[in-house]
A = this chain, B = another copy of it.
């Protein structure tokens, strides 16, 4: 049974991944060629959102988009802003795209934006093609619609959230080293952190648990391997006591 779409409300999902070097965003290529000359007349990237369906909750729509793009379920997903400027689809190239490919879409679509954090090593192979590609969030390609603005804002919200909640782990494989974790924080917060001080901090986090296991296949001293336990976190968080006033 196919449910009809709500034609003025969509969901966009900024999919963040981490490759030990940079924080990346998964984007989908958009391309138009002139049917006569075969010339490429439009080429850029977008997040390829989806319209919300009749009788579908927003969060479910976001999960659906994420599943579609990555094949993954039960992924960290956070709504952060809704974009509804009346001119957000009106740039010439975007109108050209919409008229050509989606003539039924309105000129004013409100999009509810989410960001998600995925362990990019987990993305299933059949989702690797699809004209989808990872781009460093600090070095984005040309983007369609208002997607650059959306991604920039997603990053800002992520930077705030990661100071409050242990969500960085969502971007790492289940087992990780402290250096990986530190790199992650450095990249997201865009700052250098002292290794010893960082480790002291992590040592206080009872929910970051060392395993009796070492890194393998590296040509240097292998690091100890850790896991994150949401269980322990939930049981020990209590009060966050970080009043900044």
Task: Specify which chain B residues have a CB less than 8 angstroms from the CB of A83 in the assembled complex.
Answer: 58
What CA separation (Å) do A193 and B243 show in the bound complex? 10
Interface on chain A toward B: helix, strand, loop, or mixed SS? mixed
Residues facing B in A46-99 (CB within 8 A) are 52, 54-58, 79, 81-86
Contact A198 B245 (CB under 8 A): yes
Contact A243 B57 (CB under 8 A): no
Contact B108 A55 (CB under 8 A): yes
Contact B243 A189 (CB under 8 A): yes
Cβ distance A218 to chain B, nearest Cβ, rounded Å: 25
What CA separation (Å) do A86 and B54 show in the bound complex? 9
Decide: A84 near B108, CB < 8 A? Known: A6-B8, A9-B8, A245-B185.
Answer: no
CB-contact partner of A82 in B112, B162, B164, B244, under 8 A: B112
Decide: A110 near B58, CB < 8 A? Known: A8-B8, A193-B245, A244-B242.
Answer: yes
Asked if A129 is at the interface of the complex by the 8 Å CB criterion, the answer is no
Chain B residue with the shortest CB-CB distance to A168 = B245
Contact A54 B163 (CB under 8 A): no
Asked if A191 is at the interface of the complex by the 8 Å CB criterion, the answer is yes
Chain B residue with the shortest CB-CB distance to A56 = B86
Sample of 7 A–B contacts (CB below 8 Å): A8-B8, A52-B84, A54-B108, A55-B86, A57-B84, A58-B83, A185-B245
Using CB atoms and an 8 Å cutoff, list the residues of chain A in contact with chain B.
6, 8-9, 52, 54-58, 79, 81-86, 108, 110, 112, 160, 162-164, 185, 189, 191, 193, 198, 201, 242-245
